[in-house]
Chains A and B, each alone.
Chain A
Amino acid sequence: MADYDVGEAKMFAKWHATRNLLDNEDFWADCRVLLLNKVFTLPFPDTEANRAVFAEACAKYSECIVPTLFKQVPVSEQELQFMKENIRSGIRNIVRSKNDVYLDMSQGCPFSRNRSCSIKKFCPDFCSRFPVMPPFVSVSDDGETFYHLQVLACYPEVIDVIKTLYKMAFSNHPEIVILPDLSVVANQ
């Protein structure tokens, strides 16, 4: 038995009896409201092209909301080195925990100017990819590794992109069932 949050429970209660959700515009309108701010693990690979679709849809939001959502941002040693070489003011919010390195955002982002990023060319992958999140990694029974696209639905436009991707991928596949929380199951 899975754990549902409040929004997901509402979606299941309202839409449990509707089989074809993909073509139901009222359903998608509800998703834009009730499924906001959730992280979705999507049945698509974490490719540059897939990430770009989300970046394009969210381009109109010039404000960076990463510091309002995360207290720490993961950064690799290579990224950190690149930042150190290019940011003259220095980086004072580095936090090290065992083998991981983070930028501390608990006091806000030191590179934020008028709520926009002042180091866009040098910022860590985590920030530049946002609202796409680090991929969800799964390993199949035969040892093959998959990197699933994960995205935070911080804007309604993210839900719109998911809708477009789902329609493109699943419109002619009646064996694929979209559930009210936007998870996808296959009727075998």
Chain B
Amino acid sequence: MFASCCIFAAMSATSDSSFMLGAREGFAAFLPFSVGLVPWALVMGMAMTSTGFSPLEAMGMNIIVFAGTAQLGTLPLIAAEAPLWLIVVTALALNLRFVIFSAAIAPGFRGVGLPARWLSGHLLTDGVFATCVDRMQHVDDPRWRLGYYLAPSLWSWLLWQSFTLLGIYAAAIVPKSWSLEFMATIALIVLLVPMARIRPMLVAALVGGGSATLLRNLPLRLGVVVAIVLGIAAGFAAEHVEHRRKQQ
């Protein structure tokens, strides 16, 4: 309810043509990637149902949290009645990458009002970040930028809520052997491939992916956070090496 009120407020406050132009372009850029959300949301609905949540509780979590990784990561802890602090620390560790994403995309929100920034922050996801971060740095008009960001964000939100709801009720119907959740992995690959065409980015991806695999047994899933930091350091180092080689 709260989120949909915010959505309407944000839409009506900025529903001029440059907002809509940005919105159309952002939506078109994001649409193919959003396919990956569908199986991911279905799996989320099924997982919450099998943890023992009622449909109301499951949709409550889905609307309040709105984060697949943090939801799936904390479900086993909730089911095991783990202490509250451990659940919160785990969620924070899983979400630490968003601080980095938020800092990287923040310049794209210059000239945008505070309520729209809070809404945008709440709606920040991996796919929307990857779609918008670069494009938003290179456009002057703040309304165009907000449209370019909010259209894919709101589309993600709507898809996510609808298909989680479907997943809650379809938990028993879709055969597990279809492995539909793999489409979420493919969606992440589709985002990653064009980035990794630049050599230092490829180094960052290889080190990040390799370390996350090797560090999988670190407590509280901190391995993912450590791997991201190592990947960033490796990419930055590779950029310096390449730069020095060009100078020689």
Question: Are A and B a genuine interacting pair, yes or no?
Answer: no
Q: Which residues of A contact B (CB under 8 A)?
A: none
